[in-house]
């Protein structure tokens, strides 16, 4: 089989890979290969083919062989030849590729308005500042940055993160203990997967992201729900939990109920981790930057860097589509986690890592976070004010931080409110999906309201639709 790479086939300078395979004469094989390229759309309608001589030279064929192949395809209608302008692909030569039928799992179109939590305001991505950071970073990067990557992640980013996390989140680390990953979910997959440090049963908060529970269950781990109240997760119960060697917590802002972990509960978690060999805490600091009414709550990791794996990402501060996150690891875990990352796996690309390093180091990240804090505080205040006016009988909580709030509903009404909102074109989520299925603690009805989600122009109507959907005063 001859596999020949042609380097200058189209006038646009694109390469075309032609496989002169199968039986028959050279002419027949070339004709077939060109016909296939046109049929599959790899040679687009209108593309000019190279002159006979240059294609013949590239393919090691006689000029006449190419001329005959072109003539045959012109006769068949795949190509057109025009005096003085050579041979090109006929305008409608490519077969219409039927549109793939949507897979069954494709979700139904979403309602026009959404207050579903899970994303920052996508319209506020700092495009210009990010582009400037990327340009600066690419200009400054040494050539070796574009060689095979370091599984820890770029050193520029790890240095910038060590500075930032120490300064802004009270994390105690040096760049050597930071491993860059593609977001929190990637970290959780690595840590819980085969050969990962998480084994057996993991304590989790009774309310949490079902998606994260799914990652753990998929890895064969059992999860033990810790009840959650207004002081956060009941970490005081860890001491009595059998066979548990790790606990996953959201201390800065319990997800999704919204309270910070009470100082005594923070201490209880760390004491538990210290009391048994090999015990660790996983600290999910997913939105620690966004605290509005008082000083940010520092990371639990600062209390004991050898017992806490600190996990963060840019998913709330910048965008969940960027897929950059980080693990700050106890020293003894670093090598094992690097081995889990493997060679040339789905790491974060170097260009995003370099851009984020510059974004952090230049102060652009702090500026963006400050701006967004104000933006989300304004939105939160509008939400709270409107609820106070139009639904004063319903309690709203979890508003001191983050990008979502929880609105308590009368018992038994959650599902019908979510459905009524959908009928009015508003996507809403109740608390039920977040509740651990084995949780025995108090269950209450409520809505998780992602006030960062709507674009600015739709925010007022999303809030209005929400208020029109809520149960009236009893
Ligand atoms: C509870 C929680 N943890 C972590 C994350 C971040 O996940 P990732 O970095 O995988 O996007 C999110 C969402 O942004 C979240 O809601």
How many distinct structural domains can be found in the chain?
A: 3
Q: Which of 74, 89, 104 is the last residue of a domain?
A: 89
Question: In this structure, are residues 302 and 274 in contact, taking their beta carbons and an 8 Å threshold?
Answer: no
Tell whether 304 and 216 lie within a shared domain: yes
Which pLDDT score, from 0 to 100, does residue 47 have?
Answer: 86
pLDDT score of 233: 97
Measured in angstroms, how far is the CA atom of residue 447 from the centroid of ligand 1?
19
Q: By alpha-carbon position, which residue is closest to atom 15 of ligand 1?
A: 286
Query: Does 191 share its domain with 64?
Result: no
**Which residues lie below 8 Å from residue 399, measured CB to CB, with a gap of 6+?**
258, 292, 380, 384, 405
Question: If you average pLDDT over residues 422-442, what whole number do you get?
Answer: 94
pLDDT at 321: 95
Given the CA of residue 312, which atom of ligand 1 is nearest to it? 9
pLDDT score at 103: 64
Classify residue 58: in a domain, yes or no.
yes
> Which pLDDT belongs to residue 7?
42
CA angle 34, 36, 38 (to 5 degrees): 70
Does residue 170 surpass a pLDDT of 80? yes
Sheet bearing 244-249, strands edge to edge: 178-181, 325-328, 308-313, 280-284, 244-249, 201-205, 222-226
Q: How confident is the model at residue 42, as a pLDDT?
A: 81
pLDDT classification of 5: cutoffs 50, 70, 90: very low
Pocket of ligand 1 (CB under 6 A): 118, 183-185, 209, 250, 255, 284, 286, 313, 315-316, 320, 325
User: Of residues 442 and 272, which shows the higher confidence score?
Assistant: 272
Output the pTM of the full model. 0.83
Helix (H, G, I), strand (E, B) or coil at 268: helix
Average of per-residue pLDDT across 112-141? 96
pLDDT at 314 exceeding the cut of 90: yes
What integer pLDDT is reported at residue 4 of this predicted model?
41
Let me know whether 200 and 331 are in one domain.
Answer: yes
Based on the domain organization, do 320 and 449 belong to the same domain? Answer: no
State the pLDDT confidence band at 44, using cuts at 50, 70 and 90.
Answer: confident
Q: What integer best gives the mean pLDDT of the chain?
A: 91
Q: Whose CA is nearest to atom 7 of ligand 1?
A: 184
Indicate which residue's Cα is closest to atom 3 of ligand 1.
286
With 70 as the cut, is the pLDDT of residue 364 above it?
Answer: yes
* Residue 299 lies inside a defined structural domain of this protein: yes
Q: Whose CA is nearest to atom 2 of ligand 1?
A: 286
**Average pLDDT value for residue range 323-327:** 97
Q: Whose CA is nearest to atom 12 of ligand 1?
A: 286
Q: What confidence tier does 473 reach under pLDDT thresholds 50, 70, 90?
A: confident
Please say whether the dihedral angle defined by the alpha carbons of residues 201, 250, 269 and 341, taken in this order, is positive or negative.
positive
Percent pLDDT > 90 in the chain is 74
C-alpha 432 to ligand 1 mean position (Å): 18
Are residue 174 and residue 274 in the same domain, yes or no? yes
Does residue 74 share a domain with residue 6?
Answer: yes
As a whole number, mean pLDDT of residues 412-437 equals 97
Candidate from 266-275, 289-298, 385-394, 428-437 with smallest mean pLDDT: 289-298
Does one domain contain both 352 and 440?
no
Residue bearing the CA closest to ligand 1, atom 13: 118
Query: If you take atom 16 of ligand 1, which residue's CA is the nearest one?
Result: 118
Q: Determine the residue of 233, 320, 429 to mutate for testing ligand 1's pocket, defined as the one with the most ligand atoms within 8 A of the Cβ atom.
A: 320
Residue nearest to atom 1 of ligand 1 (CA): 255
Most confident of 2-11, 31-40, 229-238: 229-238
Query: Rounded to the nearest whole angstrom, what is the distance from the C-alpha of residue 400 to the centroid of ligand 1?
Result: 18
Whether residue 199 is contained in a domain is answered as yes
DSSP state of 331: G
**Residue 465's pLDDT is what?**
97
Centre of ligand 1 to C-alpha 453, Å, is: 14
Query: Average pLDDT in the 453-469 region?
Result: 96
Calculate how far, in angstroms, residue 141's C-alpha sits from the geometric centre of ligand 1. 29
Selection from 52, 14, 18, 54 nearest residue 33 by Cα = 18
Q: How far is the CA of 184 from the centre of ligand 1 (A)?
A: 6
Is residue 144 one of the residues assigned to a domain? Answer: yes
- CA 288 from chain center: how many Å? 17
Find the range with the poorest average confidence among 110-119, 134-143, 360-369, 457-466.
110-119
CATH number at residue 322: 3.40.640.10
Give pLDDT tens digits for 172-231: 999 999 999 999 999 999 999 988 999 999 999 999 999 999 999 999 999 999 999 999
Minimum-distance ligand 1 atom for the alpha carbon of 250: 1
Q: What H or E segment, with its residue span, contains residue 399?
A: none
- CATH number of the domain that residue 49 is part of: 1.10.10.10
Shortest-distance atom of ligand 1 to CA 185:
10
Residue 452's CATH number? 3.90.1150.10
The pLDDT assigned to 11 comes to 40
pLDDT band (50, 70, 90) for residue 97: low
**Where in the sequence is the domain holding 20, given as residue range(s)?**
2-89
Predicted confidence at residue 284, as pLDDT, reads 98
Q: Report pLDDT for 3.
A: 38
**Same domain flag for 203 and 68:** no
Locate the ligand 1 atom nearest the alpha carbon of residue 209 and give its number. 1
User: Looking at residues 356-365, what average pLDDT do you find?
Assistant: 98
**Which protein residue's CA is at the shortest distance from atom 14 of ligand 1?**
315
Q: How confident is the model at residue 299 (pLDDT cuts 50, 70, 90)?
A: very high
- Ligand 1 center to 442 CA (angstroms): 25
Q: Is the pLDDT of residue 407 over 60?
A: yes
Are residues 192 and 290 located together in one domain of the fold?
yes
Å from CA of 308 to ligand 1 middle: 18
Same domain flag for 337 and 385: no
Whether 350 maps to a domain, the answer reads yes
Contact indicator for 279, 273 with CB cutoff of 8 Å: yes
The alpha carbon of 316 and the centre of ligand 1 are apart by a number of angstroms equal to 7
Residues 247 and 282 in one domain: yes
Which pLDDT does position 18 carry in this prediction? 79
With bands split at pLDDT 50, 70 and 90, how would you rate the model's confidence at 1?
Answer: very low
Q: 420: alpha, beta or left, given left = phi > 0 and alpha = psi -120 to 50?
A: alpha
Single residue among 334, 366, 398 that ends a domain in this structure: 366
Q: Are residues 55 and 159 in the same domain?
A: no
Nearest CA to ligand 1 atom 5: 286
Q: Looking at residue 98, what is its pLDDT?
A: 60
Query: Can you give the pLDDT at residue 23?
Result: 84
When comparing pLDDT for 51 and 249, which is higher?
A: 249
Q: Which of 79-83, 121-125, 140-144 has the lowest mean pLDDT?
A: 79-83
Expressed in angstroms and rounded, the spacing between residue 153 Cα and the centre of ligand 1 is 20
Query: Of 207-211, 347-351, 405-409, where does mean pLDDT reach its minimum?
Result: 347-351
pLDDT at 120: 95
Q: What is the pLDDT of residue 109?
A: 55
């Amino acid at each position: 089989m001859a596999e020949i790479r042609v380097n200058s086939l189209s006038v646009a300078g694109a390469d075309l890979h032609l496989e002169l395979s199968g039986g028959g004469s050279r002419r027949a094989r070339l004709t077939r290969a060109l016909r296939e390229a046109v049929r599959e759309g790899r040679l687009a309608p209108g593309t000019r083919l190279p002159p006979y001589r240059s294609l013949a030279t590239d393919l090691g064929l006689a000029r006449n062989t190419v001329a005959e192949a072109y003539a045959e395809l012109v006769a068949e209608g795949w190509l057109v030849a025009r005096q003085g302008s050579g041979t090109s692909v006929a305008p409608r030569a490519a077969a219409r590729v039927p549109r793939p039928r949507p897979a069954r799992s494709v979700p139904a179109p979403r309602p026009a308005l959404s207050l579903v939590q899970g994303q920052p305001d996508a319209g506020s991505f700092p495009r210009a500042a990010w582009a400037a950071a990327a340009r600066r970073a690419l200009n400054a990067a040494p050539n070796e940055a574009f060689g095979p990557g370091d599984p820890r992640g770029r050193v520029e980013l790890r240095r910038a993160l060590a500075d930032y996390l120490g300064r802004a989140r009270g994390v105690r680390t040096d760049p050597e203990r930071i491993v860059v990953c593609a977001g929190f979910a990637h970290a959780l997959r690595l840590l819980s997967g085969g050969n990962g440090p998480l084994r057996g049963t993991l304590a989790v908060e009774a309310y949490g992201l079902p998606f994260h529970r799914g990652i753990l269950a998929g890895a064969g781990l059992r999860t033990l729900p810790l009840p959650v109240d207004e002081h956060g997760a009941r970490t005081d119960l860890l001491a009595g939990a059998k066979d548990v060697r790790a606990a996953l917590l959201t201390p800065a802002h319990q997800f999704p109920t919204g309270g910070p972990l009470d100082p005594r509960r923070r201490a209880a978690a760390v004491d538990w981790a210290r009391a048994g060999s090999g015990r660790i805490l996983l600290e999910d600091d997913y939105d620690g930057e966004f605290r509005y009414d008082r000083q940010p709550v520092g990371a639990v990791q600062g209390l004991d860097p050898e017992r806490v794996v600190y996990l963060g990402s840019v998913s709330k501060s910048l965008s969940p589509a960027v897929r950059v996150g980080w693990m700050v690891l106890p020293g003894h875990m670093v090598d094992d986690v690097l081995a889990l990352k493997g060679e040339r796996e789905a790491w974060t690309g170097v260009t995003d890592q370099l851009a984020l390093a510059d974004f952090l180091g230049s102060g652009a990240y702090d500026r963006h976070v400050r701006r967004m804090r104000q933006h989300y505080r304004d939105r939160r205040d509008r939400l709270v004010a409107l609820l106070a006016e139009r639904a004063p009988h319903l309690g709203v909580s979890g508003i001191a931080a983050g990008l979502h709030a929880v609105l308590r509903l009368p018992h038994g009404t959650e599902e019908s409110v979510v459905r009524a909102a959908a009928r009015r074109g508003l996507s809403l989520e109740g608390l039920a999906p977040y509740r651990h299925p084995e949780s025995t603690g108090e269950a209450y009805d409520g809505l998780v309201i992602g006030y960062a989600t709507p674009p600015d122009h739709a925010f007022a109507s999303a809030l209005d639709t929400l208020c029109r959907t809520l149960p009236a005063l009893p």
